[in-house]
Structure 1
């Protein structure tokens, strides 16, 4: 008997920009486990790109099509299931992943409305998928053929037949994850070392926390299981030996990296690869939600490659209780600041606007706490209602009186060969019984300003100067937003445009979105980047690219106002801060340009600001006075421009692609090497010549 042909896909859109850029490690595990147990009885092919799978379905006729189900690939998976069924009615379609309701009644309704799906694997997929394929082999030899596979439940699988949904018995999760062969060491992921996708490794599975807004908050996966350290080291070495030179990032898929003591050994292994191969330059990971001291110790050796993620979602105790989450306290966060600085770590924190019970005031207070605590990057997200998250349940919606709308997931749309336009759509909370819609819009504007002043390193000197004088850092973005309406120029218009886009991206139903964009003219607006983009990322990139002079001028006015209110504004302080603004203008000059021949901005400096930035908080700027004023040339080396070029080749040289590139280069090391090489004092060429007329012109244009 010929082997079963199995197609497995973990799909990403790349119509205007690469949307999800991680390699398909998840289906790699499923394939490796099945091949281990079934050997040559199965022929398995893996897919990441939609066009590749669509073309393969027209050319071939797989016996089984299995696809992952996340919020960013749900609708395209259903379309390709439909296509596969049209081309081969006997194909078995299998869906798996966390984007699935939690209770059986909702699961039944979900599958009854998706008849192209034969089976759903709601938990870890290796064992259930093997059980399903084994059952398929048995059915092929029966009188009714492949149809008999649905005659009785299969352990670990939900069977979907018209008018009848059957639930198989639960299967135990694998405790020894090494029972799954490595898809890297088996060569299954070699085709995805393509220069676009990021390799990632998983060292453990499961999450001990129970946050109700998260699909990983289920009690079924609270127990954490691990791959062996030896296995992880072998995979890391394999990746480093095979990754193409244009790929600089490694992802770690764990939900809480750094909380286990052996994670220190994994960090050591990554550092060894960096020393030996120069890879990875950047490490993407979700660090643990508590045990921050242990996490800092674990990841400090990777300080030039990562941001220490201290996600809080909210700092309001009642809101946290409403969603079943426990956070690091404000006091603990502040107490950790010296340790974080000593470890040379950049920090990042995430907030969710509109959580149950949150108000405008409580969300503002959360942002205030994080900025004042010295978080280097603060991002605020809109609350999404995800299938599989307890918060999505009907009783929770009614309890909090959620006002929900629908919007396109950024960059997630495609036109298939049939002419059908497919878009991924998410449901988001934009109001509740404690938060109005207008307050939601205002919070989003504030979130944009907070993101702009905490993202990267351009505003670091300004924020440090504020802290040095015992002023409140949060007042910088907060007052900037308050002052915008009275300003002239393009910056207020840009912020109002952001508010308009924030409202305009919202629809009353998913069906309205899908119907509207079937029109060719409407769909062209998606292709042109006029709609369907990440609003906060694109508008932030627009600020960075075109409004830095205005935003720095506004920041200067706010800081001088704060100094004056504190009776600290004098001639010396004003001169110092004016020089800091000039320095920040040099840092932010044309940071997304790929023109290696562009002129480098210059500034006359009395103070060694680049060294002062790295000193303790209490050190005054006057302690870093040059013996005599120098001309600082903000010099970008060729390698920095090449990094930007690589990112734009991956994501596209469009406003959406540039926003993606800016997001990718948010860590300290990347900002230093890619955008502002001048952060390293050695890269500022100090001379004793006056500022040239050419450099004066550059600054006047800013």
Structure 2
């Protein structure tokens, strides 16, 4: 008699109450499914899911033997709600959880035979967490630790040899933990796969076919898995630091498949440190050649290796410069804070070298910062931002510190050590309606620490909005650099704007309305947040006022719109003029004002108004050599670059196709939805025009 085929449903659920909360292909469940399908062939049947309703409908139609759920911070409550529904519909289904919300190695192997000095905070946390998760959620049969491919295939093997799910969960399974009679039962630690090519491509295998048909999700490819670093706010490095990789041929084949089959033309490289291997240069060259010959991908999303090898990153950035900026994430530059979070940035001397290389090759340079890290103060974070500007970065994006399960900062030890206090907020749109109630996955944001008071936190929140508005995409870079030439820093501009709000009404009105809205959306408990969100939805039918990101992006969209950007720029120009006039000497250069006005007019043209009709090129004439000024790192006043005669400059959109595609996609959308989509999709270097000489063979460019 032929053995019954094992039916398996794998899901990494995204919220969909108010738009899909994640717009990417769920790479993890695809890899797990492909590995198992390759191992067991026709003995198993696998389907992948992104949405709750699709999964439940499938279970109702054909109850599976196994349901595997990807369990993360962004779908925590949704996943726990889903497993209860799975159990109600199909009592005999084996329910398995894996993902970054699960401890990396499991308590058996992180507490035994490890001296207290070597034991990591997450190791101490593991046993308590594993037990609490399984004990409080009886519907969970098994949890999978770390990379899921091998442990999940071990579960399938046990299922094939067992009569029912209870028999499966009553025995130790390598890479997994279960709860039996109130006691944790764990298998041996599974060594991670070093050759990722043993995992067939889930794309080419056809596992994503249903998702491609129904949703235009951004495909992701993973050439290298793992991170050699141990940042305490992050879960990617954790306890598995060894890099594992696919072959270059494997990744090329996947990308070619996506070119022909993916409805979404954006491509994301999922590596946490792309460029860490020499062969990544060849992959970058392959992508560039493919883009030039076919237009695919239309744009690219990557995280470059943060500490080198620098030559690899330089070559890759030069190859891909029209598709994305060269990003060097700092998170902070404060030495004490870097030590606290176990992070090492590249030396400042190397940063300067990389920035100079980028600008000499017409490449935009960006960085990312996190406010509120342990040891950071209000003033030290302001100083960090100022330093990034003086380092001549073209884009500075800022995020606030929030805690994620599995990260060291999430543990009780870290919270106590740094005095971390938190509130709950809805940063994005992690809401799903299930029957008559809303399931919400709130973000736990650090609002106080040993160094930051609650008032400091709100001050940083407003300051971060200032950073986004003027420097998130370098909207006002030329104005800011002009001011720095006269010892007026962006911190001076911010203080002037805030201290005299009546003089600068547009910025203060938009920033104050943002802060007034946001301040009321942070709650002491998840339950308070969920109740408030539910009431607002019943009243307004949407979550617009509750999503912090949407509120920020809506206002950034207004700032950059053709209707309002002249008002935004005017406030900055007036604030700079006021500071200069208060500090100037009578014998000082009197060209400050005229150049400031010229740069204000330039900014109006440089800022690309989101999702409006965009001309690929605008030609303007100026009396100053903007190109050489930028090449000299803005070290001298622009007045020293006066031209003998007026010169024409071309203000160009770097990637016009990206704007056209997004404009077509968002037709008919409301402003808030359009702006939220724009600022989460377009790369910073493509939010403003690049400046170049016209009728010059070298086509020198500044960002």
Would you call these one fold, judging by a TM-score over 0.5?
yes
1:217 matched residue in structure 2: 237
Alignment of 1:642-681 (within 5 A): 642-648=660-666, 652-668=669-685, 670-671=686-687, 676=689, 679=691
Q: Distance in 2 between matches of 1:243 and 1:600?
A: 26
CA shift for structure 1 position 419: 2.1
Alignment of 1:525-604 (within 5 A): 525=540, 527=542, 529-534=544-549, 535-545=551-561, 547-561=564-578, 563-564=580-581, 565=583, 567=585, 570-588=589-607, 591-594=609-612
Alignment pair present for 1:495 and 2:511:
yes
Alignment pair present for 1:463 and 2:485:
no
Alignment of 1:185-584 (within 5 A): 185-193=204-212, 196-219=216-239, 221-244=240-263, 247-291=264-308, 293-294=310-311, 295-416=313-434, 418-466=435-483, 469=485, 471=487, 473-475=489-491, 478-479=494-495, 481-487=497-503, 489-519=505-535, 521-525=536-540, 527=542, 529-534=544-549, 535-545=551-561, 547-561=564-578, 563-564=580-581, 565=583, 567=585, 570-584=589-603
| Residues 1:628 and 1:514: Cα distance change in structure 2 (over 3 Å) | closer
1:147 matched residue in structure 2: 166
Of 86, 94, 97, the match for 1:95: 97
Please state whether the residue corresponding to 2:205 is helix, strand or coil. Answer: coil
Q: Distance in 1 between matches of 2:547 and 2:671?
A: 13
Of 136, 156, 169, the match for 1:113: 136
| Residues 1:633 and 1:366: Cα distance change in structure 2 (over 3 Å) | closer
2:43 matched residue in structure 1: 41
Gaps of 5+ in 2: 104-121, 696-703
Q: Distance in 2 between matches of 1:196 and 1:480?
A: 45
Please state whether the residue corresponding to 2:498 is helix, strand or coil. Answer: helix
Task: State the TM-score, normalizing by the size of structure 2.
Answer: 0.87
Q: Distance in 2 between matches of 1:384 and 1:643?
A: 33
Alignment pair present for 1:32 and 2:48:
no
CA shift for structure 1 position 638: 9.1
Please state whether the residue corresponding to 1:238 is helix, strand or coil. Answer: helix
Contact kept in structure 2, 1:405 and 1:507, CA below 8 Å: yes
Contact kept in structure 1, 2:478 and 2:599, CA below 8 Å: yes
2:187 matched residue in structure 1: 168
CA shift for structure 1 position 425: 1.2
- CA deviations 1:186-235 (Å, max 9, x no partner) are 2222344456211111011111111111112323x111111111111111
Tell which deviates more after alignment, 557-566 or 4-13: 557-566
Of 30, 51, 73, the match for 1:71: 73
Contact kept in structure 2, 1:405 and 1:430, CA below 8 Å: yes
Q: Distance in 1 between matches of 2:322 and 2:656?
A: 20
Q: Distance in 2 between matches of 1:514 and 1:38?
A: 43
Contact kept in structure 1, 2:66 and 2:96, CA below 8 Å: yes
| Residues 1:162 and 1:664: Cα distance change in structure 2 (over 3 Å) | farther
CA shift for structure 1 position 93: 1.1
| Residues 1:26 and 1:638: Cα distance change in structure 2 (over 3 Å) | closer
Gaps of 5+ in 1: 684-702
Q: Distance in 1 between matches of 2:385 and 2:529?
A: 32
2:106 matched residue in structure 1: none
Contact kept in structure 1, 2:650 and 2:692, CA below 8 Å: no
Q: Distance in 1 between matches of 2:494 and 2:651?
A: 32
- CA deviations 1:647-688 (Å, max 9, x no partner) are 5269x53414412213322332x335xxx5x856669xxxxx
Tell which deviates more after alignment, 371-380 or 169-178: 371-380
Contact kept in structure 2, 1:409 and 1:532, CA below 8 Å: yes
Q: Distance in 2 between matches of 1:58 and 1:654?
A: 39
| Residues 1:621 and 1:455: Cα distance change in structure 2 (over 3 Å) | farther
Of 129, 153, 172, the match for 1:130: 153
CA shift for structure 1 position 491: 2.8
Please state whether the residue corresponding to 1:527 is helix, strand or coil. Answer: coil
Tell which deviates more after alignment, 42-51 or 125-134: 42-51
Contact kept in structure 2, 1:274 and 1:280, CA below 8 Å: yes
Q: Root-mean-square deviation (CA), in Å?
A: 3.1
Contact kept in structure 1, 2:553 and 2:675, CA below 8 Å: no
Q: Distance in 2 between matches of 1:562 and 1:643?
A: 42
Please state whether the residue corresponding to 1:283 is helix, strand or coil. Answer: strand
Please state whether the residue corresponding to 2:58 is helix, strand or coil. Answer: helix
Aligned residues: 665
CA shift for structure 1 position 251: 0.5
Q: Distance in 1 between matches of 2:66 and 2:653?
A: 55
Contact kept in structure 1, 2:73 and 2:101, CA below 8 Å: yes
Q: Distance in 2 between matches of 1:265 and 1:306?
A: 17
CA shift for structure 1 position 570: 4.5
Please state whether the residue corresponding to 2:203 is helix, strand or coil. Answer: coil
Please state whether the residue corresponding to 1:287 is helix, strand or coil. Answer: coil
- CA deviations 1:568-587 (Å, max 9, x no partner) are 86554422321221122233
